[in-house]
């Protein structure tokens, strides 16, 4: 589709961000704020509270305590708790990301409906529509874009909707004669992935495609497409969606699947969370579990820039020949300090099989001891797949596997290196009194908890860059990008190299089709640990953040020069993404825009850079007209 046809299909609204402000100053609708006379009365709020069984709550903001008395013991406790994603998730006024320099800052809603079922959600949707309120939906609250909170709004908070039911043979409603029964799991909209994995894998011995981060919400991940550690093998989370229960803008509770409301169903598979309705339940297909999941983790240091260039080039070639398949996921980092960091996972391989895969690359590194060295611990191992998210198993088992001392010439480098699988704990735990026994998260995800973003950009890299005649250009661009900032290659967030059935499932979603031909999603990002404006000693480093944002942009531009229109993943992308309609959804955007007009013609559901958001002011309160 060419640019003219694309813009015509989505309508003139897509041009609004590009028009001078004087040409779009006219308005035809404005949502109300607490300071407005039209704000609902106490009696009206009481009626909503009654309708939702007393589950309308004023939203408290724990950081207000820190502003009032930043040096108090209670304030220090809050800052410590902000590193605990379960603490954040349990507060309707908090979000996993606290803000983004020059973009947005987490600010709480006025009231929240702590929904327990779809009827509560419908009551909140009707109240917001009838009273012209800004409406927000929060499940896991992980949005980097700030879409799960907004000041002066009503929040639908689904945290407590976390029931899980397993089905040995599920058939979507109305599809009895069209779809074969399949093993599935139904989860409430507030379920996080640790809860889903515990039920499906630890207890059920099956696999559900979800997120790598254990505290991400199931509903938000699926609606945004959804990648996890093993997406290269199973496809995206959206590709496994069989059915959704969703409340649309008219307050109706609808069932969406391939037989009922099929267009809405398709839009929910990657069209963006909180855009087409409020999901209350999801049913996802289950998959067979392999015998082993594994991990490979190490860092190679190059002694010079020239050596580093050669290292990157060798890794690109090695990946193309040995790792470009559905056994391997997660990431490699090309860093400014001339180190190559490997943090990858394997599907269906034990420790010995993984070692054999990596041996040629380790041989190459060891052959030049003056140019390269292994920093820290070298980890190659595997565990029974059923224990991957088994918190109690991890608490009691820190197994190790020893790299075989086979007497080959590499012993000078490797003889004294023990290759451990999680000799040290890889999980952090929720230590609050009364916390659930399975409340845990991977240590590697700790940097996202309560962080304040400085810059974040992503770009899908097509598999054509792995061809022999393109590998040098890719390696050169990675090196050039690393001069500005660390470049991460997330191999599980590109479907190229996956099996045909995984690609077919993912193709039938709303996500940008560019991911089907991508071998990885490149991410360049930076930020700081918990920070918030106006709190002495804990404020965001604005000037430092702005400089970091420039480095992030320059680093990504080195790759963007190879593939200028490759697209970006909506959940992990730049708040200031240009041409975001094309970037996030590509040729799928016109169809998504039409579905939005059908199910939400007045724009009740607004999220930043979401389908239809072109028609609204940046805060979602004022509808724009040309």
CATH number at residue 598: 3.30.43.10
According to DSSP, the residues that pair with 352 across neighbouring strands are: none
Domain that holds residue 394: 291-437
SS (H, E, C) 32-55: CCCCCCCCCCHHHHHHHHHHCCCC
pLDDT tens sequence across 153-165: 999 999 999 999 9
Of 546, 547, 518, the closest CA to residue 459 belongs to: 518
Domain-embedded: residue 277: yes
In a domain, 189, yes or no: yes
Q: For 507-567, where are the E strands, in sequence order?
A: 518-528
Residue 216, number of CB atoms within 10 A of its CB: 29
Q: Are residues 123 and 201 in the same domain?
A: no
445 located within any domain: no
pLDDT at 28: 65
Q: Where are the beta strands (DSSP E) in 34-172?
A: 56-58, 99-100, 104-105, 111-114, 134-138, 153-157, 164-170
CA dist 92 and 154 (Å) reads: 11
State the pLDDT at residue 400. 39
Q: Cα–Cα distance between 615 and 28 in angstroms, integer? A: 11
| Residue 425 pLDDT | 72
Task: Answer whether residue 529 is part of any domain.
Answer: yes
* Verdict on whether the full-model pTM lies above 0.85: yes
| Domains contained in the chain, number | 4
For the chain, percent helix, then strand, then coil, each to nearest 5? 35, 25, 40
Residues 276, 218, single domain; the answer is yes
Distance CA 335, CA 344 (A): 16
- Provide the token pair at 191: 């379920």
CB distance 108 to 151 below 8 Å: yes
8 A C-beta contact, residue 276 and residue 585? no
Give domain status of residue 444, yes or no.
Answer: no
CA gap 620, 147 in Å, rounded:
10
* Residue 442 included in any domain: no
Length of the chain: 626
Give the pLDDT score at 546: 98
pLDDT of residue 398: 52
In sequence order, the 6+-apart residues with CB closer than 8 A to the CB of 579 are none
* Shared domain check, 600 and 537: no
Q: How many CA atoms lie within 13 A of 180 on its CB side?
A: 1
The CATH code of the domain that includes 179 is: 3.30.465.10
In whole angstroms, what is the distance from residue 360 CA to residue 354 CA?
11
498's CB contacts (< 8 A; 6+ apart) are 231, 232, 233, 235, 326
443 domain residue, yes or no: no
Q: 437, 464, 485: which is the final residue of a domain? A: 437
CATH (domain of 393): 3.30.70
One domain, residues 314 and 239: no
**CA–CA distance, 524 with 503 (Å, rounded to integer):** 26
Dump the DSSP string for 587-620: GGHHHHHHHHHHH-TT--B--TT-TTGGGB-TTS
Give pLDDT, residue 626: 45
Tokens of 58: 């004023």
Q: Are residue 69 and residue 175 in the same domain, yes or no?
A: no
> Which of 223, 254, 285 lies at the terminal end of a domain, its last residue?
285
Other Cβ atoms less than 10 A from the Cβ of 412: the count is: 9
State residue 423's pLDDT score.
52
Q: How far apart are CA 299 and CA 17, in angstroms?
A: 43
- 98 and 176 both lie in a single domain: no
CB 401 within 8 A of CB 420: yes
Cα gap 590→171, rounded to integer Å: 30
Same domain, 124 and 103: yes
Exposure on the CB side of residue 19, measured as CA atoms within 13 A: 17
pLDDT lower than 50: segments of the chain: 1-27, 399-422, 626
Distance of alpha carbon 275 from alpha carbon 567, whole angstroms = 20
Euclidean distance between the first and final Cα of the chain, in Å? 25
Say how far apart CA 243 and CA 255 lie, in whole Å: 7
Instruction: Based on the fold, state whether residues 222 and 148 are members of the same structural domain.
Output: no
pLDDT digits (tens, 9 = 90+) for 39-63: 999 999 999 999 999 999 999 999 9
């Amino acid at each position: 589709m060419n640019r003219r046809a694309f813009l015509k299909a989505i309508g003139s609204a897509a041009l609004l961000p590009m028009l001078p402000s004087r040409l779009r100053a006219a308005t035809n609708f404005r949502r109300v704020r607490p300071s407005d006379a039209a704000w609902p009365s106490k009696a009206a709020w009481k009626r909503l509270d009654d309708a939702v069984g007393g589950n309308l709550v004023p939203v408290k903001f724990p950081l207000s305590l820190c502003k009032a008395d930043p040096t108090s013991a209670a304030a220090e406790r809050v800052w410590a708790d902000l590193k605990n994603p379960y603490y954040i998730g349990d507060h309707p006024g908090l979000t996993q990301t606290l803000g983004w320099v020059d973009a947005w800052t987490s600010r709480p809603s006025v009231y929240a409906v702590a929904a327990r079922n779809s009827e509560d959600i419908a009551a909140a949707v009707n109240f917001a529509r009838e009273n012209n309120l800004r409406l927000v939906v929060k499940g896991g609250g992980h949005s980097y874009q700030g879409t799960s909170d907004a000041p002066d709004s009503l929040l639908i908070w689904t945290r407590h909707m976390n029931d899980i039911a397993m089905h040995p043979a599920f058939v979507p409603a109305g599809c009895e004669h069209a779809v074969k029964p399949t093993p599935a799991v139904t989860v409430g909209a507030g379920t996080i992935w640790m809860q889903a994995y515990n039920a499906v894998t630890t207890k059920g011995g099956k696999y559900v495609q979800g997120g790598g981060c254990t505290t991400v919400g199931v509903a938000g991940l699926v609606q945004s497409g959804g990648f996890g550690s093993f997406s290269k093998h199973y496809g995206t989370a959206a590709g496994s969606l069989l059915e959704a229960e969703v409340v649309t803008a008219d307050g109706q509770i609808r069932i969406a699947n391939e037989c009922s409301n099929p267009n809405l169903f398709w839009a929910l598979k990657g069209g963006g969370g909180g855009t087409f309705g409020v999901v209350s339940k999801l049913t996802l297909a289950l998959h067979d579990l392999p015998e082993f999941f594994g991990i490979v983790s190490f860092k190679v240091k190059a002694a010079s820039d020239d050596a580093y260039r050669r290292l990157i080039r060798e890794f690109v070639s090695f990946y193309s020949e040995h790792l470009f398949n559905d056994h391997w996921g997660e990431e490699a980092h090309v860093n400014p300090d001339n180190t190559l960091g490997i943090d990858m996972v394997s599907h269906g391989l034990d420790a010995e099989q993984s070692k054999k895969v990596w041996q040629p690359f380790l041989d190459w590194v060891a052959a030049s001891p003056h140019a390269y060295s292994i920093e820290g611990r070298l980890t190659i191992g595997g565990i029974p797949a059923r224990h991957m998210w088994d918190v109690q198993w991890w608490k009691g088992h820190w197994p190790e596997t020893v790299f075989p001392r086979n007497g080959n010439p590499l012993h000078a480098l490797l003889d004294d290196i023990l290759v451990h699988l999680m000799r040290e704990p890889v999980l952090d735990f929720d230590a609050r009194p009364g916390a659930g026994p399975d409340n845990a998260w991977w240590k590697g995800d700790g940097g996202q908890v309560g962080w304040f973003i400085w810059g974040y950009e992503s770009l899908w890299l097509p598999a054509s860059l792995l061809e022999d005649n393109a590998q040098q250009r890719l390696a050169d661009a990675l090196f050039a990008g690393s001069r500005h900032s660390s470049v991460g290659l997330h191999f599980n967030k590109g479907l190229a190299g996956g099996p045909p059935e995984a690609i077919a499932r993912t193709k039938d979603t709303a996500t940008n089709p560019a991911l089907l031909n991508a071998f990885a999603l490149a991410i360049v990002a930076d930020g700081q640990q918990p920070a918030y404006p106006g709190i002495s000693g804990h404020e965001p480093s604005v000037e430092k953040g702005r400089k970091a944002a420039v480095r992030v942009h320059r680093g990504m531009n080195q790759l963007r020069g190879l593939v200028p229109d490759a697209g970006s993943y909506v959940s992990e992308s730049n708040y200031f993404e240009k041409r975001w309609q094309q970037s996030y959804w590509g040729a799928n955007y016109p169809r998504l825009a039409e579905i939005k007009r059908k199910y939400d013609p007045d724009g009740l559901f607004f999220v930043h850079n979401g389908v239809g958001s072109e028609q609204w002011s940046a805060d979602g309160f004022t509808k724009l007209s040309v």
